[in-house]
């Protein structure tokens, strides 16, 4: 039986995070060659030890030259980029909007918006030359609704949705598909961080409040997000572009 990504090359940013690593592992099982971008040397080293066949690349996705470099190195190694999982992101600080500092706001925008923009800016020409490709941008349920205390993050994830919609229209006739995923809380380090920021004295209570907001009553597991990304990366989604895939246990009705 043919694997769903046999012969494809996938580039993943945020590759050392929970969703990124789960997707990377799934892509490998489905036959893809994978390049993973991260910022932490130790995490990249451990990822390479676990998956020796991958290409690991250290880059700050908000820096244009570093984005150009990770795209060029992927091409040098594998010769093409069929799938781009534009996934890197940070949560920022928990504060009411008026108490958010401009510095903290800008850092979230730099990573979550500029990083997504630059990734597409340099991957799209590669896909245009090839005549095909699939881009999956990681937004959030917070990119469809509001979330008190997380104004920079919410703003950034709404922006990702807008960039996705626009790119999908620009590229629809070029056989390049662009879609976004919108996960509810996922059982990852990011959510652990948010729980502690919201309730430093009782992070477990914060987790329960998040779980109670999900009709299915729990967090998603990273593999449940990765399965949706796999569909969008594969040829099975050949007529899907400009779509927003909520992976949210029923949160967004």
Using CA atoms, how far apart are residues 80 and 9, in angstroms rounded to an integer?
Answer: 7
**Which DSSP letter does residue 3 get?**
-
DSSP state letters, 86-102: E--------B-GGG--H
Question: Which residue of the set 105, 153, 219, 245 is catalytic?
Answer: 153
- Annotated catalytic residue 105: no
| Phi-psi sector, 193: left (phi>0), alpha (psi -120 to 50), beta | alpha
Paired strand residues for 57: 37
Looking up tokens 């807008």 gives 162
- CA 241, chain centre distance (Å): 16
Terminal Cα-to-Cα distance of the chain (whole angstroms): 37
Catalytic residue IDs: 153
């Amino acid at each position: 039986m043919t694997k769903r990504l046999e012969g494809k090359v996938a580039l993943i940013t945020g590759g050392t995070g929970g969703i990124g690593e789960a997707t990377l592992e799934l892509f490998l099982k489905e036959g893809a060659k994978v390049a993973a971008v991260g910022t932490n040397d130790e995490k990249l080293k451990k990822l390479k030890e676990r998956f020796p066949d991958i290409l690991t690349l250290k880059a700050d996705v908000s820096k244009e030259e570093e984005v150009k470099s990770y795209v060029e190195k992927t091409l040098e190694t594998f010769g093409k980029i069929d799938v781009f999982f534009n996934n890197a992101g940070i949560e920022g600080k928990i504060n009411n909007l008026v108490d958010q500092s401009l510095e903290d706001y800008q850092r979230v925008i730099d990573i979550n918006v500029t990083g997504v923009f630059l990734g597409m800016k340099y991957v799209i020409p590669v896909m245009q030359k090839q005549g095909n490709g699939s881009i999956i941008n990681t937004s959030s349920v917070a990119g469809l609704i509001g979330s008190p205390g997380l104004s920079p993050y919410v703003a950034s994830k709404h922006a990702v949705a807008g960039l996705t919609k626009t790119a999908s229209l620009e590229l629809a006739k070029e056989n390049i598909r662009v879609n976004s995923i919108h996960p509810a809380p996922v059982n990852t380090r990011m959510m652990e961080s948010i729980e502690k920021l919201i309730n430093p004295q009782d992070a477990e209570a914060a987790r329960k409040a998040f779980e109670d907001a999900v009709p299915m009553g729990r967090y998603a597991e990273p593999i449940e997000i990765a399965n949706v990304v796999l569909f969008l990366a594969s040829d099975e989604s050949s007529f899907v572009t400009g779509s927003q895939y909520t992976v949210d246990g029923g949160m967004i009705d």
